[in-house]
Amino acid sequence: MEYRELGSTGLHVSRIGLGGFAFCITPKKDVEKAINNALDLGINYFDNARLYGSENKVENTLYRCNRP
């Protein structure tokens, strides 16, 4: 995975991100699988917003993954 520096923050984010827009209508187990697959591929940029209605699924899955 290629990473880019995020401004002058010192953080490096993956060039490819995972969008959470459709996760509000996606079954929880499929959201978990998508997020875990993304993490396995080195993706560390997740686009999510309260407007999407999927923040709980994404937050809970990332919390349970317990990855750096």
Residue 5 lies in a domain: no
Residue 45 lies in a domain: yes
**What is the tens place of the pLDDT at every residue in 17-67?**
999 999 989 999 999 999 999 999 999 999 988 888 888 888 888 888 877
Residue 7 lies in a domain: no
Residue 10 lies in a domain: no
Q: Alpha-carbon distance 68 to 47, whole Å?
A: 18
- E-strand ranges in the chain read 3-5, 12-14, 18-19, 46-47
Residue 50 lies in a domain: yes
Residue 40 lies in a domain: yes
Residue 1 lies in a domain: no
Q: In terms of residue numbers, what domain contains 55?
A: 17-65
Residue 12 lies in a domain: no
Give the global pTM: 0.84
- Please tell me the total count of domains within the chain: 1
pLDDT of residue 65: 83
